[in-house]
Chain A
Amino acid sequence: MKPTWAVCALGGMLAALASAFCGLACAQGLDPATLLKPTPDSWPLYHGDYSGQRHSHLTQITPANVGALTLAWAFQTGQAAQIKSSPIVVNGILYVSIPDHVWAVDARTGSQIWHYTYPPNEGLHIGHRGVALYKDSVYFTTPDDHLVSLDSKDGTVRWNVVLDDVKKGYWTSVAPLIVRNHVLVGLSGDFDNIPGMLKSIDADTGETQWTFYSTPPPGTEGSTSGGATGGNMWITGTYDPELNLVFVGTGNPTPVLAAQTRPGDNPWTCSIVALNPDTGKLTWGFQATPHDTHDWDAVEVPVLVDGSFNGSSKKMLLQASRNGYFFVLDRTSGKSLLSSPFAAVNWSNGVDKNGRPIHNPEKDPARDGRLVAPDEGGATNYRSPSFDAKTGLLIVSSRDAYGIYFSKPEHGTVGWAGADYGVFGKAVLRAIDYQTGKIRWSHDLGGEGAAAGVLTTDSGVTFTGDSARSVLALKTSDGATLWHSAIGFVGNSPITYELDGREYVIVASGSSLFAFALPEMQKKIDRRQ
């Protein structure tokens, strides 16, 4: 039957109505295209955006008013595990995780919307970095190597796929990186001699699109890893849409401290690799530590910066690496522009013509011990640095640390294959001039251990935590303290977003999230000025 005019008109109205409602209802999802230019009311990716700069353009909180910052809300998970993850915020909902748990909370108030609990499992529960969002799904990695897709509306499971076998010694803690419909997930595990990998999972179906091996499975023909396994990729990478390349750091080789069975440089362990997200093919690799024998993963955030270097315009990649070196690469080619220590380093024989530190066998773990800087925890670790373009500073939580490393044939050639002990460390926040590698300012963090990640904003404020028990706001230009609050040791990397005209800064301490903002009254005063 032919539709009558009236029916058509009614249908059109209904369709328009439906679309209006859908507009409201569907607005809760995340269009992956918006990831290219995140809105100020969101923090939709692990690093806030694809660059890894962990820098916000928000300016409500300034050096002049940050002293008035106050607690807007707190969210307590009620679990024992420390929050190490970086939350994601989309459409007024904040998603935060610890191993086996995800919460969606109201980003304005901290009240819980839903809580997802993964079943008990024997995967390693050492930490969790965060979740990822795409359309109306939340992606969550589990200790036993599953990737779970949850409905972001209510936390129900859409699908659950196995990434690899937990029995082999893998676990997962990474916050996935979303590029179009690719969910990029790296695995963890260096207690066994297993290959490191990054997998691309179809965001809609859960099917594996490709797998990149940083070290090929043993027996692979033409392998260049020199017999090394390992090189796991346990920190979220960054993405350059123009080059269509993702940049991801790789972990240490295995066996970890004993290297007699893995001669050579052991690529691509302790490296930064540039991959095509559609195919997983390697475009280039740069090894931060050739032939590592000290557990110095090069997984720290590869920060993407476009700017001037020695007078010419460059597309760069910056990394403050766990081995104590700060690297600047041309990210179109992977060629070195600068390599310079940013913390105590005594393990190398300088830097070669390609910008790679030169391995010094005298500092390899030995039967009678070798005193090595940095120690196993490294000159920095997984918590994020921040890049501030106005000052040209990469601000990183660093440590001058010494450890003593042992290895002997009796320790075998599987997994750790040695022993090491921390001796001493001192934590310092350092602001590195990216064009020279020089430290422009340092801020003593008052402890020996790793401290919090770093966030900078366009107003010239740097947020981080010290190694004692305070969250700090510092002046980005000189590192002077502007504000602090003794909420306990900050365990994650701070984020920020603005909702209803109010800028929130979120940090975690222990098992709680804390949201700081200016008092409503202060905002009115600032507006009048």
Chain B
Amino acid sequence: MTVNAPLSGTVVALADVPDPVFAGALVGPGVAIEPDAGATLVCAPIAGTLVKVKPHAFVVLDDSGRGVLVHLGIDTVKRNGAGFQVLATEGSQVAAGDKVISWDPVAIRDAGLSAVCPVVALDATAISDPASGTVASGDAIFSWA
């Protein structure tokens, strides 16, 4: 399965994310994206069911039971949704690229938080073909066999 960038920005290794739980791949393997200032629209990285949507994070489950987590920023759960707008409905079917959340990465940085977005293959042993450099929303960022 190819997992796509949910938003535009620069790929960052998960190990370099400023949170030891994500950086240590405890949530799972994946990559992270440092969003462009204008990357306000966050889209589904794969097709599937939007099994969980919070203002700051969501999980899409594909039909083989694999789930991908997109987490917008670090410690952003503490924002309690401020600055995030959920655009899709939990439980709905999404195609890769469908919009899920709207946010402002610049506002998150202004609030003193990291806006880097881990994209994680939940319960995976490993991922392959991680992208590097700049990516546009929808570009492939890793493969999950």
A and B interact: no
- Contacts from A to B (Cβ < 8 Å): none
